[in-house]
Structures are given as C-alpha cells and as structure tokens.
C-alpha cells in the first residue's frame, strides 16, 4: 500500500532511511531542488550527516495552466522539454521561449536569494544525491541531472519520496541510481500523497540552508507564542458589544476619508455584523456618504436606488433580488438586509438636511447584466445610440450566456474577441454629458454615471474573462484593478457635490489588506487595499478581521449549495493561533501603535466562498506581515455562520460533528 506522508519533513526522514548506505561518507553531497525539495533534502542530509545545498531548476509551465510542466531549465543554460506535452498542445516556439526568458530571470534571482555571495558546493568527483519532493513528469529532475553532468560528479542519485513508477524507471537512463520511496499507481499528482503539501517559501528555504550550514541538526524552533501573547494581552481593547466598543477605533481613524473593512471569510456573522456597526457610526458621526462592497455594480445599484428612496422595491429583501448568482448568501443574508433597511431609514431622516449615503458595487462579474443596464439607459434618452450599442454588444450573442465560454473561445483566438466593440462603447459613454437643461440635476447625473460605470464594467469584464485562458496577466490583478478604477470613479463623481467625499469599503481581507505585506506580492499580485493606499496614503485606514474557530457559511465547490461548516481551529505558526493565545473572546488591536508586538511573518487564514478543511493549509493559508497589511485588527475568537435568506437543507443540517474532522 502506498505511503501518505504527513508533510515534506516526514517524507525526507523516510527517504533518508532508504539511502542509509550513504550515511557518514565524506564524498556525499545532498542537493535539493527548491523550493519543495528543500525540506525533504534537509532531513535527508541530516540523516546521512552530509552537507546540503540547493540546485536551482525552474519548471516551464504551460501558460494558463502553470501546474502542467512543458519542460524545465537549470543553472548552466540547460533546457529540457517534455515533447509529449509540447506536441500534444501544439505549443509554438515563441511561447516556449517567452516562458523560458521569464523563468531564467527567476532562476538568477533565487541563486542570489538563497546563496547570497556564497559559491555552490563542489560536485566534481563527489556522489550527488539529488532530492525533490516527488516525480510526476520528471522534467525538473531530468534538467537537474543533465546540468549536473557538466560538473563531472562521480555518481548522481535521484531520490524522491514519491513518484510515478513509469517516470522512476525512465529516470534510470539518465541518473546512476534512482530511489523512489513509494511508487503509487496511478500517481494522480504528487500532492495527493502528502497530508500537508503547502507551498514552501523562500524564507523557509533560506532558514533550512542556514541551519544545515554548520552541519548540525538542531531541533525545530518552538513557536514562541506565549511571550508574544502576553505582550498583546496588555495592548488590546476588549469588545463587549456595547455602544462604546469602537470609540477608540473611530479616534484612530481620525480624518481618514477611506475606511476599508475586511473579513476573513465570506460567510461569518460577526464579520458582517461588526462591519455594519462600525459603518453606521462612520456615517452618523464622521459624515461618510458611500458604502462600496465586493459585489457587481448593476446588482448593487438597485439597492442604492432603494436606500435613496428612488425605487419601487417594497423592502430591502426585494431590493437585493438581483443577487441570484452564486454565492447568493454573500449579500442576501440577514445582516445585510438589516443594514440596508437602516441605511434607508437614515436617508429618510436626513431629508434634505445633508447628503444621503449610497450603496455601490465594485466587482466585474456581471457582464450581461451591465450590458442590459447600458441599453436600458440609452433606450430612454437616445434610441439611436441604443441601437449602435446593441450592435456592438451583439458580438457576445453567439457565445451564449456563460461569459467563461466567451473567454475560452476568444482567449484561445478560436474566434474574434469583442474587445474593440466594448472599448468603443465605453469611450462613447464617457463622452456623454447631461443635457444643458438638466445639468446640475443630481438624479440625472447619477443615472448617467451609473450607465458609464456599467459600460466600464463590460469593458473590464470582457478583458477578465478573455484573460482566464492562456493570458499573461493575472486575472486577480485585472479584477482588483477594476475595483480600484470603480472606486476612484465613484470618489470623483461624489466629489462633484462634496469637496472631500468619505467612502467605506466592504471586501475580503485578501482584497483589502495591503498585498505588499503578503507572499502573493512575490508573484506580482496587487490588490484593492494596496492600490487605494498607494493613491491616497494617509487618507486610508485598513481594518482586518480574524477568527480562530467556529462555523462558516460556505460551499464545498464552486456553484454548490450553501453549507454551515465547522471551521477548524487555526494552524500553529499562524496569527490566528497567536491571537487565540491572548485568551480574550473578542478584541481590537491598533497595529500602527502596537503592531511591533506581533511577529513579522506568520501564516494567515483566508476562507472565501468555498471552504475545504480537508486541504486546510494548502487551500486557506498564506504568509503575511499583519502589522504592515492593516492599520487595525478585530479578532473574534469563536464565530458563527452568517444566515442566508434562502437556507438550504445542507445549511440547516449544519456540520456533521460526529464525523469531524474526517467527514466519513
């Protein structure tokens, strides 16, 4: 029966036992393939009492499907291609060359990062044990072996904890010896044979190399959360649920015009409830006049009309009726209904004595809804222009209702894209101005702005869906840049009536916490919080939310029903576990003044609309510097699932506690 390893370190210890005949020899060097091979190689080197170094190899991923290796490169200018994948996908040479150029830059960066100015260990006349965390296609290991041959080693041993039996056999043609600790058939994927197959970071690689440099095998450093928790305990402001809970937070916000309120999941009652409490105070006490949310513009603008008293909807639940696409519970839940009704009541009480507060969306998924909104507007004020817009948008008709189908076909250049058509329509809409007789009429100007924003959404959504398939630019970046563009356009529009409009943003921590303080920045990702912070600096205030355990409303797969799921206690070496150790049910922490009490880099949990506890580490954690990510933090140690308006049988059933955590 095939072995399933708990993690790479355990896999390395098991692999070392298979290589015991090399233990204690003075001609052996262990070279690990970063990054995943380094924890394995560290344990192998420790078990064999051999020196450890890295040998840099970069996988050449198929554009758009980067996990699929079409080849690899290694130090020394070696490139190995997987002919089966290259020929099977008909990948043109210029695509392969472009990926190679990009990966060569990363290879050189890692050489400098891992070694600094230290030269690599000598391989000439030595037995080299080349270690990775697994063999799937073998292209990475093959590139390393061929590059190593140039250094004239006495012997090359390719060693992995798990590998495809066919690839392990084929590798013997290039390596002098191949050791695969386990060879399951079918392999499916290397990660299938690890309970924790989370990504190894550059910092972890450097730390392991540093620890191996003295030839010692020091034990793992304990996570010193007790001292840090003790420091934090003296600095937190406990939350009681009372009216004065957020006095200190509002004082810290001061004159900031843009307050970004996050969430660590899209389905936690406390995150929605406390955002609403803070937002009500910002509107009443600090004059905030807009709430923007991680939702599509046309769906949310219907709610805006309701809270402004300009729609025929009878109540908030009806005003939220356009939120019918997955995940409906994000905005069709009890807390949002209560807040929308409060906002309507607040605006009715204002009654001309001051500006009303609006409710707006920032996201870009509603391609077809936005097109319909543009056409409805033009049909009312300029039928001829509506006919031109209809002909432009008709480009999408033969792709069907699913924008992803359009993205796949246009992104792969199977058919002509609609890019030029949507750009032309946006340009035409942005040129429009309210008629002279109606200029200054706020309602008229708002309707024009609404139509312009829908045209902007169509343009950006077209690019987003087209980029989902084989595109060089991250769709994450396209989405967050669209949200930032929408935010700036709204601020400019509101600024025509108010000199310094104040805006609240509701979105996930992953969108609002400054991306520069997370490991995602290494991959070139940006987010809304970073972009607003860069543009407005001290006028922004970013607030993160965390929880240790509880329940959450989430699906098991995209498009699946809403379920009430148990949230596992947070992992060790995470901010959530450190905050749990503070031993306070709920509290606030000012990160600008007290952030130095936090470690600079720990894991942070992010649950979106899907929660997969069975792959908790890989699916829901990333490394971050919390104090640099946010200005303030709100921690709720135990939280409960937000209640959807439409409760599914799966949600009512709740989590199956008797089978937790295995679900069998």
Q: What is the pLDDT of residue 440?
A: 55
Q: Quick one: pLDDT band at residue 664, thresholds 50, 70, 90?
A: very low
Q: What is the pLDDT of residue 336?
A: 98
Mean pLDDT lowest for which of 34-38, 337-341, 538-542? 34-38
Q: What is the dihedral of CA 424, 425, 427, 428, to 10 degrees?
A: 120
pLDDT greater than 50 at residue 367: yes
> What is the Cα–Cα distance from 516 to 505, expressed in whole angstroms?
19
> What is the Cα–Cα distance from 596 to 626, expressed in whole angstroms?
10
Mean pLDDT lowest for which of 377-386, 410-419, 515-524? 410-419
More reliable by pLDDT, 223 or 354: 354
Mean pLDDT of 580-591: 93
> What is the Cα–Cα distance from 471 to 277, expressed in whole angstroms?
41
Percent of the chain with pLDDT over 70: 92
- What are the tokens at 571? 């992992």
Task: Work out the end-to-end distance of the chain between its first and last CA atoms, rounded to an integer number of angstroms.
Answer: 20
**pLDDT tens-digit readout, 259-300:** 999 999 999 999 999 999 999 999 999 999 999 999 999 999
Question: Exposure of 84 by Cβ count < 10 A (0-12 exposed, 13-18 middle, 19+ buried)?
Answer: exposed
- Find out whether 72 and 143 touch, Cβ atoms under 8 Å: yes
pLDDT greater than 80 at residue 186: yes
Q: What is the pLDDT of residue 662?
A: 26
Percent of the chain with pLDDT over 90: 58
pLDDT greater than 50 at residue 658: no
**pLDDT tens-digit readout, 201-217:** 887 888 888 777 533 33
Q: What is the pLDDT of residue 655?
A: 46
Average pLDDT, the chain: 88
**pLDDT tens-digit readout, 455-479:** 999 998 898 888 876 554 578 999 9
Q: What is the pLDDT of residue 111?
A: 78
Sign of CA dihedral 655, 660, 661, 662: negative
Q: What is the pLDDT of residue 225?
A: 55
Farthest CA pair distance, the chain: 91
> What is the Cα–Cα distance from 51 to 36, expressed in whole angstroms?
18
> What is the Cα–Cα distance from 45 to 28, expressed in whole angstroms?
9
Q: What is the pLDDT of residue 251?
A: 97
Q: Quick one: pLDDT band at residue 601, thresholds 50, 70, 90?
A: confident
**pLDDT tens-digit readout, 34-73:** 889 999 999 999 999 899 999 988 888 888 877 677 888 8
pLDDT greater than 60 at residue 220: no
Write down the pTM of the prediction. 0.66
Q: What is the pLDDT of residue 217?
A: 32
Q: What is the pLDDT of residue 540?
A: 98
Q: Are strands 358-363 and 290-296 parallel, antiparallel or unpaired?
A: parallel
> What is the Cα–Cα distance from 332 to 610, expressed in whole angstroms?
17
CA 37 to chain centre: 24
CA 484 to chain centre: 16
**pLDDT tens-digit readout, 97-154:** 888 888 888 888 877 788 766 677 888 899 999 999 999 888 888 888 988 887 789 9
DSSP 524-553: T---HHHHHHHHHGGGEEEEEEEEEEEEEE
Mean pLDDT of 26-40: 93
Q: What is the pLDDT of residue 596?
A: 82
Mean pLDDT of 292-318: 96
Closest-CA residue to 179 (of 155, 195, 200) = 155
List b or e across 476-508, with b for residues whose CB sees 16 or more CB atoms inside 10 angstroms.
bbbbbbbbbbbbeebbebbeeeeeebbbbbbbb
Q: Quick one: pLDDT band at residue 95, thresholds 50, 70, 90?
A: confident
More reliable by pLDDT, 375 or 213: 375
Q: What is the pLDDT of residue 413?
A: 66
Q: What is the pLDDT of residue 407?
A: 80
**pLDDT tens-digit readout, 159-181:** 999 999 999 999 999 999 999 99
Mean pLDDT of 629-653: 93
């Amino acid at each position: 029966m095939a072995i399933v390893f708990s993690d790479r370190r355990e896999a390395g210890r098991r692999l070392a036992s298979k290589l015991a005949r090399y233990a204690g020899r003075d001609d052996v060097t262990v070279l690990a393939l970063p990054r995943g091979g380094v924890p394995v190689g560290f344990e192998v080197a420790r078990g064999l009492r051999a020196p450890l170094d890295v040998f840099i190899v970069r996988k050449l991923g198929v554009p758009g499907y980067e996990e699929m290796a079409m080849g690899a490169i290694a130090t020394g200018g070696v490139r190995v291609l997987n002919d089966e994948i290259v020929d099977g996908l008909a990948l043109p040479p210029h695509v392969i060359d472009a990926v190679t150029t990009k990966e060569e830059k990363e290879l050189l960066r890692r050489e400098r990062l891992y070694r600094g100015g230290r030269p690599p260990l000598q391989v000439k006349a030595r037995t080299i044990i080349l270690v990775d965390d697994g063999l799937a296609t073998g292209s990475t290991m093959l590139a390393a072996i061929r590059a190593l041959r140039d250094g004239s080693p006495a012997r090359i041993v390719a060693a992995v904890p798990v590998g495809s039996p066919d690839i392990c056999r084929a590798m013997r043609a290039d390596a002098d010896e191949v050791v695969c600790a386990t060879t399951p058939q079918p392999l499916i994927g290397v990660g299938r044979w690890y309970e924790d197959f989370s990504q190894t970071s550059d910092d972890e690689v450097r730390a392991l190399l540093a620890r191996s440099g003295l030839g010692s095998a020091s034990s793992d450093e304990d996570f010193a959360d007790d001292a840090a928790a003790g420091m934090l305990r003296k600095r937190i402001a406990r939350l009681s649920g009372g009216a004065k809970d957020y006095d200190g937070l509002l004082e810290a916000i001061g004159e900031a015009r843009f307050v970004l309120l996050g969430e660590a999941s899209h389905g936690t009652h406390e995150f929605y409830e406390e955002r609403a409490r803070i937002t009500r105070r910002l509107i009443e006490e600090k004059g905030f006049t807009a709430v923007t949310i991680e939702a599509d513009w046309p769906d949310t603008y219907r709610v805006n009309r309701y809270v402004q008293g300009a729609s025929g909807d009878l109540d908030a639940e009806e005003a939220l009726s356009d939120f019918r696409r997955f995940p409906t519970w994000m905005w069709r839940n009890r807390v949002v209904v209560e807040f929308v009704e409060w906002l309507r009541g607040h605006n009715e009480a204002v009654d001309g004595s001051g500006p009303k507060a609006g409710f707006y969306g920032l996201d870009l998924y509603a391609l077809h809804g936005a097109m319909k909104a543009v056409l409805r507007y033009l049909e009312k004020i300029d039928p001829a222009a509506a006919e031109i817009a209809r002909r432009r948008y008709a480009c999408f008709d033969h792709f069907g209702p699913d924008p992803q189908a359009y993205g796949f076909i246009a992104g792969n250049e199977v058919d002509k894209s609609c890019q030029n058509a949507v750009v032309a329509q946006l340009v035409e809409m942005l040129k429009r101005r309210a008629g002279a007789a109606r200029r200054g009429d706020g309602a008229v100007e708002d309707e024009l702005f609404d139509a312009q924003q829908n045209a902007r959404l169509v343009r950006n959504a077209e690019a987003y869906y087209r980029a989902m398939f084989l595109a060089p630019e991250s769709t994450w970046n396209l989405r967050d840049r669209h949200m930032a563009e929408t935010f700036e356009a709204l601020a400019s529009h509101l600024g025509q009536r108010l000199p310094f409009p104040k805006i609240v943003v509701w979105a996930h921590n992953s969108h609002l916490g400054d991306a520069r303080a997370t490991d995602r920045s290494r991959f070139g990702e940006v987010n809304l919080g970073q972009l607003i912070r860069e543009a407005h600096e001290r006028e922004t205030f970013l607030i993160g939310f965390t929880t240790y355990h509880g329940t959450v409303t989430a699906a098991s797969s995209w498009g699946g029903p809403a379920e009430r799921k148990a949230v596992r206690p947070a992992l060790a070496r995470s901010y959530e576990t450190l905050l749990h150790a503070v031993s306070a049910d709920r509290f606030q922490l000012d990160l600008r003044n007290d952030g130095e009490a936090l470690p600079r880099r720990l894991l942070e949990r992010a649950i979106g609309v899907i929660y997969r506890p069975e792959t908790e580490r890989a699916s829901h954690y990333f490394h971050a510097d919390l104090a640099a990510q946010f200005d303030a933090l709100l921690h709720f140690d135990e939280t409960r699932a937000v209640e959807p308006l439409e409760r599914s049988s799966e949600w009512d059933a709740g989590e199956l506690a008797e089978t937790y955590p295995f679900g069998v």
